[in-house]
Structure 1
Amino acid sequence: MSASTLERTARPRRSRTRSRTVNARPALVISTLKPHQVDLRPACASLICPDCKTWVPISGLQTKRPKVVPHDTGLAGKDAAVRCRLGSNRLVTVDMTVKKWQERLEDGNSETVHRRKTTVLRKPKVALAPAVSQIAAQKQTAPTDDEPGDGRALWLLREMKWASTETAVRDADTRRAQLPAGDAPLGSPLVPLTTLHPKRPAR
């Protein structure tokens, strides 16, 4: 298979380039970046491109017009060869010394070392209040001291109890109806047959 048919991958980033092309965008100011997003050591001067979020060498750091070298957006040799149009050949304004950058980097590390992860306190789950209809249904099925229940509705238990005693109640009513007319308990006064209208005494 010829090399022309192979899919091109991202090219390695060169620390120096002879290209005189300059990006028309405003210069990238070093102080606007975070300390961990830039490396001002002369041996490996580089920064994270704000557009493609990859590390890119800074060409001509000791000159008057340092700039970001042309680069692709992916990892060299792995991702597809897509040129970063917005960040390539962009001028860089170095407005701090290497010592100042190292101090900012060390201060940031000292702050993050002593950080502790916070423990998330979960709020206890509160049970929802039952609806009025649910409370009424619970009262109907709840057993009482004289009416023990087994989960069935209270009205059903009462119907079953009445069915078990209905025969005895009707027999008692029948026997009461068979008493002779006019019988009354001994020693009791006669029941008046006319309506009494008492009068108040005259004053």
Structure 2
Amino acid sequence: MATPTVEPKARKRRRKTRTKNLSTLPAIIASELKTSEINLTPGKEHVMCPACKCWTPITGVLGTPVLVPHHTTPYHDPTTTPRRRCSSSNRRIVLNTEVAIWRSELAERTEVSSTVASRRATKVLPKPKAHPAPAASQLRPVPLSAEQVRVMFRRHHERCLACRGEATDRAGQTLPCRDGERLAVTFLRLVRQEPKRLAVREVFARERRRFDREYAGAAPKREAGWAAVLPAVQNADQSRRAVPQGAQPAEGPGVPLDHLVPRQAAEQPEQGPLTCERCGATESSLTSAVAAGWCRITHRSHCGRCAGRFPAWTRTSF
């Protein structure tokens, strides 16, 4: 009777590395590491190895915490040769940071980093200088010529596959080109209208030359007319400059300032002494006030000195 074959079983592997070998390198101080370089979550203690910058588990947290032996590159990667153990394997680490303090610092750092990312200034791009479009009244249409349209049609024909008969649909039929057809029709129309356009341009040029001749012939007459009226214009300019600034020119004889003629004195009502509304000066009669240069401003009497402080158009003679 054959003996049944017993399949061998592998020995249960230890969950944590237990060794008495310690690295001779100085111990790592947890408080000197950045918050993002260590993880103190209970049961998941990890630290970024200072030698190979890989996340490495921490064993012996309740006794002598050390870094788990590890390689500089993943051990199971077949492309990595040769596999070399990291120099910080079994290196001691001093866990002198409380878990609650580490969590609060990590949360604060995460919050600050998110706010900084949202407050980051965007790149300033220079705004292109756009010239303002001209007004409709400033646009000057340029008439097309047959030669210009012919050049445009040649360029389009060299680039367009449909015009050369190389563009086809699924059924194998040649596709028409609307742009080429429009350019060809425009060229034929301009060629047909070119004699009429030349005749119209010749008429306008002939009329322009005739107008220039007539304008040049009438130049002596215009100069003679200007020479005749030039003295009158110069006299008017001199009279306008002689008028004081702000004064209103009045036609007729000037008002005597030393005394009133009998007729004007008879027309003026008899008044008592006048008092200046500004300085309080007085005049015994209207005649003496007129002789002293008194005026009315807003229907109130002012002496000559006070009236000179107001614009000329506000002063009214008695």
How does the TM-score come out when normalised to structure 2?
Answer: 0.32
- Structure with more of its chain in helix, by fraction: 2
- Could you tell me the TM-score, scaled by structure 1's length? 0.49
